[in-house]
Amino acid sequence: MFGVYVHFPYCRKRCPYCDFATHARERIPHERYADAVVHELGARRGLYAGRALRSVYFGGGTPGLWQPDCVERVLRAILAAFPEHHPSLELTLEANPGELPLEQLVALRQAGINRLSLGVQSLEPKHLVTLGRLHGAVEPVSATANARAAGFDNLSLDLMFGLPGQTLAELDRDLDGMLEMGPEHLSIYNLTVEERTPFGAMQRAGTLKLPDSNVCADMFERVRERMSAAGYEHYEISNYAKPGRRAAHNSLYWNGGEYLGLGSSSHSHLRSPDGSSQRFSTVRSVDDYFDKVPAVSGDGPLIHDPIVATHEIITPDAAEREALWLGLRLLDGVERKAHARRHGMDPVERHASEVARLVKEGLLDVGERLSLTQRGVLFADEVGARFL
């Protein structure tokens, strides 16, 4: 099983916390970008020949701004390139509240999109201003209602916490509002400040006042408690789902699966039979992408491909360590027998001394699976880094 990610680089406005390759432009070259993505797909499909398609994910940027006929054209090309599909093929598109009228949602549903991911981030007006969002507290409610009316029965909402000046009471109000909208899936993240963003500059200047780590830990625990009480399964550090509604595409990443990235600044992962793998990305600039993609043929090594910006060979040892780092983000943890079949050795035996230290520190449980303890979840990044 593998997935296809399509990066749509255009937004109406760039948010001050965003470090993705996005471009805020008045005029979007809808058809030209679709042409380029379909051409790239034709050159890349051979790398993943014979794979069964599990998911397609339109991310960005704001792919909700892409004309539905262009989304449909790209999606049809992907499905034709990889005709073997999972019975429950997940086809996701990201969008922002307030940018999707009902007729556009209907067109996207008719185009084949069956899962919608809405970037809400907060429902508090003052935090929406701080985050540079273009919607208020009302638009997410109308967007979810319109999505239901258009036939979407699988909705995911994004929410942030640990925002500048945020209190637990404000987080509770956000959670109240999100739960009232009744999504099948929630991605709830602690705000991370990236160096190359306006928030990063503000932090260096000392003008970005974030809650301290103890408050953020309390917020994380509050989210876990509220989601559990509402019947959501906490299945990954930042993700919660109703039964049977885990995000299939993101699960590919956490399980070390294969994926093909299309579009500017997209990333791909391709495994080899010897246990090694390749990871590569396309050029970050959409203008470079347009200039160079016509020369992409699929012939020759990826390192010489005109739109490949980075290319890395991951050794079997590095792949095994990454599998633990990513797999431990899942609350189910790493199944030891499956890990041994893929990587040649039981992870508890291979990393015996580190596992023993983490168990002693109360961060790791060892059984048929290797998994984080309740305390370990709070230190997931540190635990995972110990295996890298």
Question: Are 36 and 177 found together in one domain?
Answer: yes
* Residue 279: inside a domain: no
pLDDT digits (tens, 9 = 90+) for 290-302: 999 999 998 888 9
DSSP per position, 286-298: HHHHHHHGGG--S
Same domain, residue pair 339 and 222: no
In a domain, 141, yes or no: yes
Which CATH number do you get for residue 115?
3.20.20.70
Residue 8 lies in a domain: yes
In a domain, 347, yes or no: yes
Residue 36 has pLDDT above 80, yes or no: yes
pLDDT band at 109 (very low <50, low <70, confident <90, very high): very high
Stretch 144-157: mean pLDDT, rounded? 98
- Kindly state whether residues 234 and 123 are assigned to the same domain: yes
Does the residue 108 lie in any domain? yes
CA 68 to chain centre: 21
Average pLDDT over residues 318-340: 95
Distance from C-alpha of 278 to C-alpha of 300, rounded to nearest angstrom:
15
Kindly report the CATH number assigned to the domain that includes residue 377.
1.10.10.920
In this predicted structure, what is the pLDDT of residue 282?
Answer: 97
Residues 56 and 186 in one domain: yes
Percent of the chain's residues with pLDDT above 90: 84
b or e along 211-235 (b: 16 or more beta carbons within 10 Å of the residue's beta carbon)?
beeebbeebbeebbebbeeeebbbb
**Into how many domains does the chain fold?**
2
Give pLDDT, residue 156. Answer: 98
**Same domain (yes/no): 128, 8:** yes
What proportion of the chain, given as a percentage, has pLDDT over 70?
100
Query: Residue 59: CB partners within 8 Å, gap ≥ 6?
Result: 5, 6, 7, 8, 94
Query: What integer pLDDT is reported at residue 198 of this predicted model?
Result: 85
Is the pLDDT at 135 greater than 90? The verdict is no
Residues 223 and 340 in one domain: no
Rounded average pLDDT over 245-257:
96
Domain shared by 113 and 205, yes or no: yes
Domain of residue 322: give its range. Answer: 317-385
Question: Does residue 84 form part of some domain?
Answer: yes
The more confident residue out of 115 and 303 is 115
Last residue of a domain, one of 222, 252, 282: 252
Domain termination residue (choose one: 199, 225, 252): 252
- Say whether both 33 and 161 belong to one domain: yes
- 84-98, 102-116, 203-217, 361-375: least confidently modelled range: 203-217
Last residue of a domain, one of 212, 233, 252: 252
| 206 close to 212: Cβ distance less than 8 angstroms | no
Does 232 share its domain with 342? Answer: no
For residue 79, what pLDDT is reported? Answer: 98
Asked whether residue 366 is domain-assigned, the answer is yes
- pLDDT value of position 25: 75
Q: Which pLDDT tens digit goes with each residue over 156-180? A: 999 999 999 999 999 999 999 999 9
Question: Using 50, 70 and 90 to split pLDDT, how confident is the model at 132?
Answer: confident
- Binned at pLDDT 50, 70 and 90, residue 283 comes out as very high
pLDDT per residue as tens digits for the range 188-206 = 999 988 888 888 888 898 8
User: Which range among 68-77, 101-110, 280-289, 293-302 shows the weakest confidence by mean pLDDT?
Assistant: 293-302
- Is residue 243 located within the same domain as residue 139? yes
Query: How would DSSP label each residue in 163-198?
Result: -TT--HHHHHHHHHHHHHT--SEEEEEE----TTSH
Does the pLDDT of residue 92 top 90, yes or no? yes
Q: Is residue 33 packed enough to be buried (19+ CB in 10 Å), middle (13-18) or exposed (0-12)?
A: buried
User: Are 197 and 80 contained in the same domain?
Assistant: yes
Residues 115, 210, single domain; the answer is yes
Task: Pick the closest to residue 99 from 116, 74, 111, 114 (CA basis).
Answer: 116
Report the range of poorest mean pLDDT among 59-63, 112-116, 141-145, 197-201. Answer: 197-201
Question: pLDDT band at residue 119, thresholds of 50, 70 and 90?
Answer: very high
On the question of pLDDT at 18 being above 90, the answer is no
pLDDT at res. 46: 95
For residue 281, being part of any structural domain is answered with no
Average pLDDT, the chain: 94
Predicted confidence (pLDDT) at residue 26 exceeds the cutoff of 80: no
